[in-house]
Amino acid sequence: MKNTVTSRSADLFERAQRVMPGGVSRNTVLRAPHPAYADRGEGCRVIDIEGVERIDFSNNMCSLIHGHAHPAITQAVSEQLAKGTAFMMATETEVSYAEHLCARCPGFEKLRFVNSGTEALMAALKAARAFTGRPKVAKVEGAYHGGYDYAEISQAPVPETWGDVDRPRSVPLVHGTPHSALDEVVVLPFNNVEKSLAILDEHTDDLACVLIDLMPHRVGLSPASPAFVNALRDWTTRHGALLVLDEVITFRSAYGGLQTHIGVTPDLTALGKMIGGGFPVGVLAGRTEVMDVMNPRGDHYLFPHSGTFSANPISTTAGLTAMELFDEQAVARLNALTSRAMHGINEAIESTGAKACVTGGGSMFRVHMKPDHPRNFREAYASEAENRRLKVLLDHLFDEGFIMINTCTAALSTPMTESEIDQLIAGMESGFAKIASME
C-alpha cells in the first residue's frame, strides 16, 4: 500500500516550488528532501512547524546576537511600529544610533546607514573609487563580500579555475559576469605577505582599495595574521589606496569590532547582520575625509547616495537596542563560551580520532573535516570525501536538535549558557563517532 503520509513542511515545499526557483528565496535553507520551516523562535531555540525544537547555532547566518524575540528589542520595535515604519524624513533614532556606533570604534568618524551588508560593501567600493579616482579593487581569494559583481569575484574558485598559487586568477561566481569586472579585481592569497605585496605592486596606479575580512568565513574562519594586515595597511597608505574592512560578521568579536582587537584602523568599514537587531541593515563607516564624498554640501561631493529604506526607524530602533545590550561584558561572556566550545570540540576530536579540526575566534567557530588547520582558501577547500563526512555530521547535528550554518559554522547568541555549549559538544562527539563507524 502506498504511503500517503506527508508533513506540513513537505506540503509547503511542494507549493513553494511552483512559485520560487528551487522553492526558496535563499539556497542556504535547502535541505533534503525539503527545507524545515520555522514557526517561532524563543531565545536560542527555534521551533519548526512540525513542533520540533532545536538549539540555534546559526542565528540566521550570524545576524542575531541576542537570539530570537528578545523582550527588549520586541518592545522597542513594537512601540516604533505604532508610530510608523518609514518616513520621507530623518529620525532621532538614526542620529542616536550613529552616535552609539561611532563611540564604539575609533575608526568610525562618520557613517551612513544602508539596508544590508552587501549594500554596505557596494557603497564602500564606490566611495573608494570616488575618493581615489581609480577603478580597481584588490580582495582575498575565496572571501565572501556579498552579491556585488566586483566583490564576489573569486568567491568560489575550484582547482580547475583558480590558477597558480603565486598569482590567483579572477574567477567569476555567476555565469555571464562581464569580463570588464574580472579585469578590475586583483586577487590576493590570504595571509601571504610576500606574494600579496608582489601582486599589489603591479597595480599601484590603478587600485582604489584593498578589501579584507579580518576572519573570513569562507576562507576558513582563521584570523588574518597581524603581519598580513599591517602589510596591507602600510602598502595602501604608501600608494594612496584605501584599506576597506568587511566587518559584517566580525564586528561581534570585540566591542569595537575585530579591528580594535587586531589594532588596525582602516579608511572604511562595512557592517551588517547583527547590528540590525534582527532586521535588515548595513552601515558604511570611516574617516571623515573619505565619507564626505557622499556629502552634497561638502567640497568633495563625488558620490550621490540615497536609499528608500536606509536608516528606517524599525532597523535603527532594533539595532540601537541590540547593540546597547551587547556591551563589553556581554561580548566577553559570549567569547568565553566560544572558547569553551572550541576546547570541548577539540577534546571530542582527540577522543574519537576524527579527521577534523576547529577554527574561529570571538563568538564564532567552524569545524573542518580535515586534520590540519587551514591557513587559506585552498587549504580550506573541501575534497569530496571531506564533504561527505561533513554532510553526515551536519545531518546528525540537525537530527540531534542543533541548527548550524551549512559549513558547520556556529555563531553564538547571548541567551546561550554553558548547558547549550556542552550539549553541542556532546552532539559533535557522537557525530564524529558515527562517521568513524561508517569508514
Measured CA to CA, the distance from residue 129 to residue 207 in angstroms comes to 9
Backbone angles phi, psi at 136, to 5 degrees: -90, 155
Q: Which three cell numbers mark 353?
A: 580520532
> How far from each other are the two terminal CA atoms of the chain, in whole angstroms?
36
Place of cell 534582527: 278
CA distances from 312 to 77, 104, 155, 307 (A): 12, 21, 31, 10
Phi-psi region of 142 (alpha: psi -120 to 50; beta: other; left: phi over 0): left
Long-range contacts of 423-429 (CB under 8 A, 24+ apart): 423/55, 424/55, 424/57, 424/341, 424/397, 425/341, 425/344, 425/345, 425/347, 425/348, 427/396, 427/397, 427/400, 427/401, 427/402, 428/344, 428/345, 428/348, 428/367, 428/393, 428/397, 429/348, 429/351, 429/352
Check: CB of residue 359 under 8 Å from CB of residue 374: yes
Which among 330, 360, 368 has a CA at the least distance from the CA of 343?
Answer: 360
Measured CA to CA, the distance from residue 204 to residue 248 in angstroms comes to 27
Q: Which three cell numbers mark 6?
A: 506527508
Measured CA to CA, the distance from residue 84 to residue 179 in angstroms comes to 45
Backbone angles phi, psi at 356, to 5 degrees: -155, 165
Strand order in the sheet with 402-403: 38-42, 45-48, 53-56, 402-403
One-letter identity of residue 431: G
Catalytic residues: 144, 246, 273
Measured CA to CA, the distance from residue 194 to residue 210 in angstroms comes to 15
State yes or no: cis peptide before 33, omega within 30 of 0. yes
Residue 436: in which H helix or E strand, if any? helix 418-438
Measured CA to CA, the distance from residue 184 to residue 259 in angstroms comes to 26
Q: Three-state SS for 41?
A: strand
